[in-house]
Amino acid sequence: MLSSLQLATLAGVSQGTVDRALHGRPGIRPATRTRILALAEQHGYRPHPGAQELLHGRRLTIGALAPAVNLIFFMDLLSELKTALAEQDCRLSLTPYDGAAEFRDALAEFAARRVRGVFAIPPADRFPLPEHLTADMPLACVLNRCEVGNSLFLAPDERRAGRDAVTMLADRGHRQILHVTSRRDAFGIRERARGYTAEMKVRGLAPRILKPADDGALTVALAATDATALFCMNDEIALRCLRALARAGRRVPEEISVLGVDNSPTFIRLCPDLTTLAWPMRELTRQAAAWLTTGTVPAGPPPPLILVERGTIGDNPDPFCEGHR
Amino acid sequence: MLSSLQLATLAGVSQGTVDRALHGRPGIRPATRTRILALAEQHGYRPHPGAQELLHGRRLTIGALAPAVNLIFFMDLLSELKTALAEQDCRLSLTPYDGAAEFRDALAEFAARRVRGVFAIPPADRFPLPEHLTADMPLACVLNRCEVGNSLFLAPDERRAGRDAVTMLADRGHRQILHVTSRRDAFGIRERARGYTAEMKVRGLAPRILKPADDGALTVALAATDATALFCMNDEIALRCLRALARAGRRVPEEISVLGVDNSPTFIRLCPDLTTLAWPMRELTRQAAAWLTTGTVPAGPPPPLILVERGTIGDNPDPFCEGHR
DNA sequence: TTGTATGCGTTATCAT
DNA sequence: ATGATAACGCATACAA
């Protein structure tokens, strides 16, 4: 890649003339412009983004920070974000991180690079951050919150999702509803469990939460359970439950219903029949893009998760049986 | 984020003095150094990477280009690459792309940014590229090749993988071996199919290839097949086959065996019992990192894919039955 | 011990 | 119509 000065030398003109040609500014002979443009095209000239940003304080790239742990949901989320940012004419530069220290370091790197803003999936909820990091650079967080100014946490109404899940399953006659979740800690995981527990209690049902260590434990637990419905924390867990139930010879949804959360496209491709609560990915990434590029704070309450009915939820097969408690 | 000049003004010294403090260079009073360092720490000062690279022609970031299409394998691959690059003290900046045009544009952007090198998953095999793009920047490709100089294609022996799959399954007594693959075109997909076909013919077996349009078609096909073993192009297809077989009520591996390819950590988390041919991700990302940072071309033949035995392969349940051809 | 000048690549504003 | 110059932030060589 050559510089504008090299291009000027090649064309036998000064840097200023090259600039006029490249930017369509007046004060240049058409023949000169054509010649320079042809040369630029031929050599694939591009202005150095670093130099541009340095000079004009321009900020047209958005940094993204996601855990290197490959949760399929993250990828789909970032893919949506890319679409939302393209509408705002912004580039996306993604850095994967491993652990809290790397997260902080990568954030400082973005700050030093003077990116326009950062979209992040913090390593833990209520993650503390020095104020100076975000003083000049808005931060949009999802899944976990950051404790720092100039930042915005974008989330749907996760607690309501937990309540809605119970309500929906109870309306189908289920009373033994098991919440299968993860040992990981995150805002949404905790809130969904709280919503689930609250709604179960309101209905006089006993909340039961399963956090399987591995698929073996899951298979054992599901083979023995008297639950007629599983409310899974996300689609990945739902898929693992479906596989465990298949191994245990239990039919879905005839004998037992399974509900996931996320509706992440990649997962649904793997598991096209899964009924799930769709995380409003498009709306929230749009809100994030708006906040990062124009500083717009989303108005109104957090959006709900929407039920997408496919084939893994059925009525309680035996509504009058309370199960062997 | 403040500049070194602002820091100097704040400390009441010149830019040169700040530089001496920050870089531990001699010729500065200890008290002055301490004061400047404290100020820098307090404000979270960091040199602007863009300015550094501009000044010193330093190239310490590696660009990565991956399709925004969420193939899980890509993310696992990039995670490994990050590890390999960390050993070389390089940063990774990932840009997702959509389509050939965006791929070329993102590559040009990296060239303009003078990154040290680019790791890419090209949008198609034998993807043509203008020479000037890679003139000053090595390119490492996986999964598909780029037709351009200064680039290296990193792949295991995909054809041998296809042959090995057949050999292994035939050794277990299988004769009806179905290759389930994708309509997509990529180097590895094609080579695996070729290896499969060649080895089947050598053994006097009839190669049969299935490219299901969707999971419905897959379920129908697998419910009716007389194959006793499935050689799946990758782990994703293997997982979908497992689910389709479960729906069709066919037991794995008692009635039918399933072999995947990749051993992608994310998939194995979803499907811990899948027997698969492990793609040598670590070795190839290391080779990529070495090529990009030091220009080292890997010696020796392409590495093989290694069988990882778990629970989805069994012996042919009825080795004397040739099936109803 | 400290301050100053220079150049990396761009672009805008001057002068010719 | 074109050339020269300055500045963005940083690091280095050199002057004081």
* Alpha-carbon gap, residue B214 to A160, rounded angstroms: 34
Class of domain A158-274 (CATH, top level)? alpha beta
Smallest CA–CA distance, residue A233 to chain B, in Å, is 15
Distance of CA A74 to the CA centre of its chain: 5
B50 and A47: CB-CB below 8 Å? no
Q: Does residue B247 surpass a pLDDT of 90?
A: no
pLDDT at residue B321 is higher than 80: no
> Position of tokens 């590029």?
A293
Q: Does nucleic acid strand D have an atom less than 7 angstroms from the CB of B176?
A: no
**Cα angle B263-B266-B272, degrees, rounded to a multiple of 5:** 65
Q: Given this model, what pLDDT does residue A268 score?
A: 92
Strand C at less than 7 A from CB of A19: yes
B65 in Cβ contact with B112 (< 8 Å) = no
- Which range has the worst mean pLDDT, A29-43, A310-324, B197-211? A310-324
pLDDT above 90 coverage of chain A, percent: 82
Q: What is the pLDDT of residues A219-250, one digit of tens each?
A: 999 999 999 999 999 999 999 999 999 888 89
pTM to 2 decimals?
Answer: 0.92
pLDDT at residue A168 tops 60: yes
Region B211-224: mean pLDDT is: 94
Q: Is the pLDDT of residue A324 over 50?
A: no
- CA-nearest residue of chain B to A113? B48
pLDDT given for residue A162 in this prediction: 98
| Residues B199, A75: Cα–Cα separation, whole Å | 37
**What are φ and ψ of residue B152, in 5° steps?**
-130, 135
Q: Is the CB of B48 under 7 A from strand D?
A: yes
CA triplet B18, A51, A85: central angle to 5 degrees?
115
Local confidence band at B88 (pLDDT 50, 70, 90 cut-offs): confident
Per-residue pLDDT band for A320 (boundaries 50, 70, 90) equals: low
* Fold matches, A59-154 and A158-274: yes
CA distance B235 to B269: 11
Q: How far is the CA of A24 from the C1' of C6 (A)?
A: 31
Mean pLDDT of chain A: 93
Query: Checking DSSP bridges between strand A306-308 and strand A275-278, what pairing results, if any?
Result: antiparallel
Using a CB–CB cutoff of 8 Å, tell me whether A145 touches chain B.
Answer: no
pLDDT at B238 over 70: yes
pLDDT score for A174: 97
Alpha-carbon A57 to chain mean position: 29
Query: What percent of chain B is modeled with pLDDT above 70?
Result: 97
Give the integer Cα–Cα distance in Å for B312 and B251.
Answer: 10
Q: Report the alpha-carbon distance of residue B124 to residue B186 in Å, rounded.
A: 6
Residue B325 has pLDDT above 70, yes or no: no
Least confident of A261-265, A304-308, B69-73: B69-73
Give the minimum alpha-carbon distance from B202 to chain A in angstroms, rounded to a whole number.
34
A150 touches strand D (CB under 7 A): no
Distance from CA of A301 to the nearest CA of B (A): 30
What's the confidence (pLDDT) of residue B323?
44
* pLDDT of A272 above 60: yes
- Average pLDDT of span B114-134: 95
Question: Which residues are paired to B92 by β-bridges?
Answer: B62
- B54 CA to D10 C1' in angstroms comes to 9
- The encoded tokens of residue A270 equal 């793997």
The answer to whether B233 and B251 have CB atoms below 8 angstroms apart is no
Q: Which two tokens stand for residue B27?
A: 């010729």
Count of other CB atoms within 10 angstroms of residue A162: 28
Distance, CA of B200 to chain centre: 28
Domain boundaries, chain B: 4-47, 59-154, 158-274
Q: What percent of chain A has pLDDT over 70?
A: 98
pLDDT at A165 over 90: yes
Query: Which of A274-278, B21-25, B82-86 is predicted most confidently?
Result: A274-278
- Place domain B4-47 in its CATH homologous superfamily: lambda repressor-like DNA-binding domains (1.10.260.40)
The beta-carbon neighbor of B114 closest among A48, A109, A246 is A48
**Which residues numbered 54-93 in chain B sit less than 7 A from strand D, measured from CB?**
54-56
Query: Do A72 and A264 meet the contact criterion of CB atoms below 8 Å apart?
Result: yes
**In this predicted structure, which of B67-81, B138-152, B228-242 has the lowest mean pLDDT?**
B67-81
Name the strands in the sheet holding B257-262, side by side, starting at the edge strand that comes first in the sequence. Answer: B208-210, B177-180, B229-232, B257-262, B275-278, B306-308
Q: Tell me the C-alpha distance between B285 and B187, whole Å.
A: 17
Strands B177-180, A61-67: pairing is: unpaired
Out of A42-46, A50-54, B259-263, B320-324, pick the least confident: B320-324
Q: Does residue B59 or residue B306 have the better pLDDT?
A: B306
CATH code matching the domain that covers A59-154, chosen among 3.30.200.20, 3.40.50.300, 3.20.20.110, 3.40.50.2300: 3.40.50.2300
* Cβ pairs A/B, distance under 8 A: 135
The SS3 assignment for B274 reads coil
| Residue B313 clears pLDDT 90, i.e. is over it | yes
Instruction: Check: CB of residue A236 under 8 Å from CB of residue A270.
Output: no
| DSSP per position, B206-251 | PPEEE--SSHHHHHHHHHH---SEEEESSHHHHHHHHHHHHHTT--
Are A48 and B266 an interchain contact pair (Cβ–Cβ within 8 Å)? no
Looking at the DSSP assignment, which residues form a beta bridge with residue B140? B119, B152
Mean pLDDT of B150-175: 98
B265 touches chain A (CB under 8 A): yes
**Is the model's pLDDT at B60 over the cut of 90?**
no
Provide CB contacts within 8 A for B156, sequence distance 6+.
B279, B280, B284, B302, B303, B304, B305
Strand residue runs (E) in chain A: 61-67, 91-97, 117-120, 127-128, 139-142, 146-147, 151-154, 177-180, 208-210, 229-232, 257-262, 275-278, 306-308
* pLDDT tens track for B285-296: 999 999 999 999
